Structure 1
Amino acid sequence: MEPGSSRPGSRHIGGAGLRNGSQEMDDISVILAAPGWRAAVKRPEALARRAVRAALREAGAAGAITVLLADDASVKRLNGTHRSKAKPTNVLSFPAGAPGQLGDVALALGVVRREAREAGRNAAAHLAHLVAHGALHLAGHDHIEAGEARRMERAEARVMRRLGLPNPWRGVS
């Protein structure tokens, strides 16, 4: 489905109208838009759901979230449309601004794989970290100021510990 199109009854990822029909009781939907995710990460949809749940628990937040596991071209379009940046990025968060809806998170497969490889990290751990990062943004965390950034990094480290995955900030200066 192309950005800008929509399905009846859909919520919107960055205005793209993407939503899948399968929802869990906690209303976390995962759309696998780039099949390469399955080659890069075992059961990426389940891992994304676990990461969202852990991040929301950490933040003490609740609400519907959709995670889009996309390719670089799709995230590049979203980044260009919503942030005026003509390049793909690892993760984008789109707050919903509606009761019961936290928003949407989109990830770019190629960027995530490349970053994981360059950092010597497992792609699954990097995916979980970035999904948690996006969900924490939707729950109100930010990293513009130094103090905010440190609090968000600590929250991400606690989420990763809950998931049994390594701290992404260990060894980073």
Structure 2
Amino acid sequence: MNLEITLEDERWDGLEPLATRAIAAVLDHCGLDLDHCEISVLGCDDARIAELNAEFREKPGPTNVLSWPAEDLAADRAGDKPLPPQPDFTGEIALGDIAISYDTCVREAAEAGKAMHDHVTHLIIHGTLHLLGYDHIRDLDATLMERVEVEILGKLGIDDPYNV
């Protein structure tokens, strides 16, 4: 897997192994060849992710994770699985970029009484699924995405984050 991790916030020590494990679990679950997939992850703070959220989503304020898919793989019909990504002429599959905010992750994990590494793993899985065309805007799509998240998290020994 070609995983590029950029840490703009030094508090993100340990993000690389968490992101690698989470992304590999998603790609494996989706039947993709890890050796041919490319993803970039930015570990940042609330100030930076708020800038990105305003610039790309026109939403003020910070959020936990953002994703920029390389291509739109979303299914046309609600609840259907997304289209599989296709390799380029070199055989590589560029999936896109993810940004994750340390401040929001710490706050959410504390508020939910969850271990930080479990919450970050969930958010990286969530962001990676967005790169693969999953979404949660329509109810049936949200149900599908959450089910896939829970399946992947279960394989990693992490409890269902939606069963609180």
TM-score by length of 1: 0.77
Give, as a single letter, the amino acid of the residue that structure 1 aligns with 2:132.
A
1:165 and 2:158 are equivalent in the alignment: yes
Over the aligned positions, Cα root-mean-square deviation in angstroms equals 1.4
Gaps of 5+ in 2: 72-86
Give, as a single letter, the amino acid of the residue that structure 2 aligns with 1:82.
F
| Aligned equivalent of 2:109, options 116, 121, 128 | 116
| Deviation string, structure 1 residues 65-110 (Cα, Å, up to 9, x no partner) | 1111111111111111101112110000001239421100000111
| Deviation string, structure 1 residues 86-142 (Cα, Å, up to 9, x no partner) | 211000000123942110000011111101111111111000000000000101111
Task: Provide the rounded CA distance (Å) in 2 between the counterparts of 1:111 and 1:65.
Answer: 22
Q: Larger deviation: 124-133 or 145-154?
A: 145-154
Number of positions where the alignment pairs a residue of Structure 1 with one of Structure 2: 142
Q: Larger deviation: 83-92 or 29-38?
A: 29-38
Task: Provide the rounded CA distance (Å) in 1 between the counterparts of 2:158 and 2:98.
Answer: 20
| Deviation string, structure 1 residues 32-63 (Cα, Å, up to 9, x no partner) | 2211122xxxx221011110111122233452
Give, as a single letter, the amino acid of the residue that structure 2 aligns with 1:117.
A
Give, as a single letter, the amino acid of the residue that structure 1 aligns with 2:11.
G
| Aligned equivalent of 2:99, options 91, 97, 106 | 106
Give, as a single letter, the amino acid of the residue that structure 2 aligns with 1:170.
N
Which residue does 1:90 correspond to in 2?
A: 64
Q: Matched residues, percent identical? A: 41
| Aligned equivalent of 2:9, options 12, 34, 37 | 34
Gaps of 5+ in 1: 1-25
SS of the residue 2:137 aligns to: coil
Give, as a single letter, the amino acid of the residue that structure 1 aligns with 2:7.
L
1:78 and 2:49 are equivalent in the alignment: no
1:4-153 correspondence to structure 2 within 5 Å = 26-38=1-13, 43-61=14-32, 63-97=37-71, 99=88, 100-153=93-146
SS of the residue 2:66 aligns to: strand
Give, as a single letter, the amino acid of the residue that structure 2 aligns with 1:147.
L
Give, as a single letter, the amino acid of the residue that structure 2 aligns with 1:145.
R
Give, as a single letter, the amino acid of the residue that structure 2 aligns with 1:29.
E
Give, as a single letter, the amino acid of the residue that structure 1 aligns with 2:122.
H
Which residue does 1:15 correspond to in 2?
A: none
SS of the residue 1:86 aligns to: coil
- The answer (yes or no) to whether the contact 1:30–1:49 under 8 Å persists in 2 is no
